[in-house]
Each structure stands twice: as C-alpha cells, then as structure tokens.
Structure 1
Amino acid sequence: MFKRLRRVRLNPTLRELVQEHHLRPSDFIYPLFIRHGEGIKNEVASMPGVYQMSLDVALQECEELLALGLSSIILFGIPETKDSIGSEALCEHGIMAQSLRAIKERFPKMFVSVDLCFCEYTDHGHCGIIDPKTQSVDNDATLEILAEQALILAQAGADMIAPSGMMDGMITTLRSALDKAGFVNLPLMSYSTKFASAYYGPFRDVAQSAPSFGDRRTYQQNPANRREAILESLRDEEEGADILMVKPALAYLDIIRDVRERTLLPLAVYNVSGEYAMLKAAQKAGIIDYERVMMETLLSFKRAGADIIITYHAKEAAKLLSI
C-alpha cells in the first residue's frame, strides 16, 4: 500500500500544525540609511520604498517600525564629506554616532545594529585604507581604523556591531579592542561570508558607495567558491563572532545550509538590494503575485537555516503577518 502523504495537507489547521518553518516580525532587521540635514526623505529610484532619510525622519520611521512589531534595525550612514580614510566614521560627531545617540534616547527598546565599514565614508568607495603601491585595500592598516570606528559606535550606544569589510583578522581585532574598553558584552554580527556579488548594485545607489576604481574582489568572496565560503564563516567563529552571516541570500541558499550545518552560532542572511529590486520590478510589470513571492522568498531563507533576516521587505512582511 502506498503512503498517503496528502492526508496532512487536506485540512488547513493540520497544515499549520505540521508546518516546519514560520516567519515572525522578530526574525527581521530593517536597514535604515541616514544622512545629514532635516526633513529629507529621498526615495531611491532603483529600490522603490527605500529612502535616504535625515535623522528627524528616521526617528519617525522608528516609531512606525515599532508599531509594526519590528524592533531591530541596522544603520548605514551617508556622510557630508568623504576622504581617503573615511574620517567622518572616526568622529564622535559623525552621522552614525549622532543617529545612535538620538535613536537610543528616544526609543530605548529599539535594538540598533550598526554596519561597520568604510565604503560609504571614503572618497574612493573601498572598504578601508588604500595601499598606494598595490592600489588595493591595506588589510592591517584598515584593522586599526575599524577598531577605532567600533569604539566610537560602542560609546554612542550601539546594541550590536556588524563588521562588513571582509578583512582578515577583523573579528579578533574588534573583539580585543571592545573588550579592553569594557564592552565585553557587545555582540559582533560578522558579515562572515560576503560575496563579491552583482546583486549589490542598487545598494550602491542608496549608500553612494560604488568604488571609484577597480572592484572589491580582492577582499570579498568569489561567488564560485563553496569551500572557501564555509571557511570564512568558521574562521570568524573561531575569532569570536557571536552571529555569522551569509550575503547575498537568494543565490546562496546552498551556502546558508552549508554554514548552518557546521556551526551552532546564530546565522543571519542579508536579503540584498538587487534581490529586493528584482521583485519590485516584477511587481511593477505585473508578472508575479508580489506578496506571495516575497513571503516565499523570505521563508526559503528560514528553511535554508537562517535565524535572522536583514531585509528591505520587513515592513511589508510584518503587515502581512499581522493579518
């Protein structure tokens, strides 16, 4: 006699009872892009529904997020001026430090993570200090300023720091600097496996961080390399990362599963700008059921092994989950 697997699918209540994975608003971290000024809310043409905001507008956004049950955000700063070493990121009066203090003062229950990198702050758009001889990022010199940036953000009230530059020794350096300064309980969510991906294009529009020369393949992960991708995350675990991350998510579900099967640490994924923009374009063209495809995509990240999803869809998803 053949097994009737459809028996548990026929009744909607039973289908819910046996469902293996679920989405909740608490699974999501919502990115915010904050710039200097007042009353600014500039929609990004390549990312409908995503905005560059001044701090006053971002505070209003936080209020809306909390009302939707979204209590976790990750901040990206858009500075007024850029230079070769990203000086604004090394200043306690910079846009990120200002934003942290204001958000934590007004919304103490909002969990605020901060992206720790220099690509938004440098005039060359790379993730650290450029070695003039090789015209590539100087790994060890960049580690020094990453530690300095991390301490400024910790002192400003960050709940979690998310280093994204893919520098060798990054987690060891940051953990040591934070511990010595007394921030022993401040977690690090490492962009531990971050690919040199074409899916980042729209992000560079909103963050104004496209490299002015070359590309980031000397420090970001080769999309073709599975074993090396796993090694990158496991190395960050050894160095003291509290949460690992795979970025992008949709084209790398196999890597999410690979890392999940090799670590007991929490695992985040970044549902990146290109993934978001493609669904928005398909919605505009009327060729998909946008809401169903969006939720199916987000669920695929959970099924692959993610605990945390950084996504521009968070507000839309939270509204659907509340119905």
Structure 2
Amino acid sequence: MCTVCGCSEGTPSIERADAQSAQTQRHHHDHTHDHYGHHHDHMHCGQKVHDSHNHYHDHHHDHSGQHAQRGGGLVDCGADPAGLKIGSMSSERAIQIERDILGKNNRIAADNRARFLTDDLLVFNLVSSPGAGKTSLLVRAVSELKGSRPVGVIEGDQQTSNDADRIRAIGVPAIQINTGKGCHLDAAMVREAYHRLPPLKGGILFIENVGNLVCPAAFDLGEASKIVVFSTTDGEDKPLKYPDMFAASSLMLINKIDLAPVIDFDLAQTIEYARRVNPNIEVLTVSARTGEGFAALYAWIRKQAAYRRRPVQDTLR
C-alpha cells in the first residue's frame, strides 16, 4: 500500500481559512518529471523482471499489485503475506509499518468522529476512480442542500484547488487539501481542514477523496459512511477489480446513468457484482448532468440522519 508507492512521503498542503474569500487564488505545482530511453530493472513481488527498452515514464503509481507478463499468466502479489517486496525489507516488516500507519490514523479518525458527533454533523466520504463525476455530483447536491442546513466540503487532490473553487463559486464553504505524492486523504488531514471551515453544527460535511479505488478504502477519516461513486463508463466489473473499496462503502452511487442507453451499460450485472463483494451495499442511480435520481439520494441522506437521531428539515425533500 502506501509503503510501496511512497505516498506517505512529503507534506500535504491544506488551504488556509481565508481561502474562502480568495476565490481567484490559484495554487498549481507542476512536478512532472519525464525520462526517456533509459534502462532499468523492475521488482514485482520479489521477482526481478529485466526490461531494456526506450519508453516514456511519468512516475505513475500502480497500486493494483498485478502485472501481465509476456507469454500470459498472472503475477499474483496477494500470495505474499504482505503482497509486496520493497528492496531488502521483509514482508513482515512492511506489515508492521502498515499496522503502525493505520493504527495512528484510526486513533485520529476516532477523535474526528467524536468531534463530528459533538457538532451534530453528518459526514460522508466520497470515493471513486478519477473522472467518475464526484465533483459535478457534489456541485449539484450542495447547491440544492445549502438552503436547508449548513453544508461544507473538504476537497482532496494531488494538486490544484480547482474542485474547491467550483464548490465555493456556488456559495458553499470548501477547503482544498493537496496531497502532493499522496494517493488518499487521511484522518489528520481532515482534522486540520475541518478546523479551517466555518461552523457547520447540525449540518452536513462532504469529503471528496482523491480519485483512487485502492488506498482510500483502508483509511478511516471519521465519516459516518463511505459513498463510492461509480460511473457507467467505468465498466460493470469495477466492484470485482477493486473489492476492498466496495466492501467498505455503504452506498454505491451509479453516476452518468443518462449515458447508459448509449454505451449499452448493464445495470443489473453491475449491482450483482457489487453485492457479490458487499451484500449490504445500497445502490442508487443518478445523473449529475440532468439531476435524475437526486431526490432518492436526498431521501437516503434523510434516512442516515434519522438513523443517527438528527433533526432534518422538510426542505431536504
């Protein structure tokens, strides 16, 4: 996981509270490094694969742990107890590091959850692959919910404040977290960002995680529920390819449902795959573009609020 890709290295950047009134401010850090025509060796699950060819490499991190080899077959890193090999580090040591990281995160997440409970705040952690439409979905949802109760957003991306800017443009407070090399938000980042938002007592906080269906599954932020946003263009078998994320989520929002007839999307098959991984996952279909399905989403939010004995105004309907 994060000890493999190195995303735990470096320091995240979190906007100051005065970013709420600085809509035009932009933070863009370009850390692209290109390498051409070099010779290197790849280590995959302890197996050395010699590769000598000219190619373009843009520091892309692959968390899937599986690589196709010439001649076919599957390199299954899950066969190793830790599923990884980092230089001379043993798998047992890697497991211990992961336990330490997750243990610290879980303690902070518990503190966040207690704080959210004190503030009577309903918190959702939105996760998805890049391009599934989380931000477009949030823009529509918070613009329609903001009149009924306090609403705030914490945005997570490796770089730029583009998503937070879109939320602030409709009059909803948002704080941007830039994770740099990081591929997910963690509880400490959320704690710091929450302190920089205006008071949201009795309201809703949406956390839009970094676009990634792997690492965010393991990191509790203190949320009430994870919501996995799934696009009809993602392919029906995403729940089987990334089972941890769908197993950790309470709700699957199938976005871009308006495109389903055009791309011959199999809704029933997608739901069957998701419930094969998580029999209890709830499923709603929405379109951030047309607004289809949002009434059902708001009903689901009311249900979550009622379950936690929170007062919900009729204007949410």
Work out whether the TM-score is over 0.5.
no
Whichever structure has more helix as a proportion of its residues is 1
Instruction: Normalising by structure 2, report the TM-score.
Output: 0.31
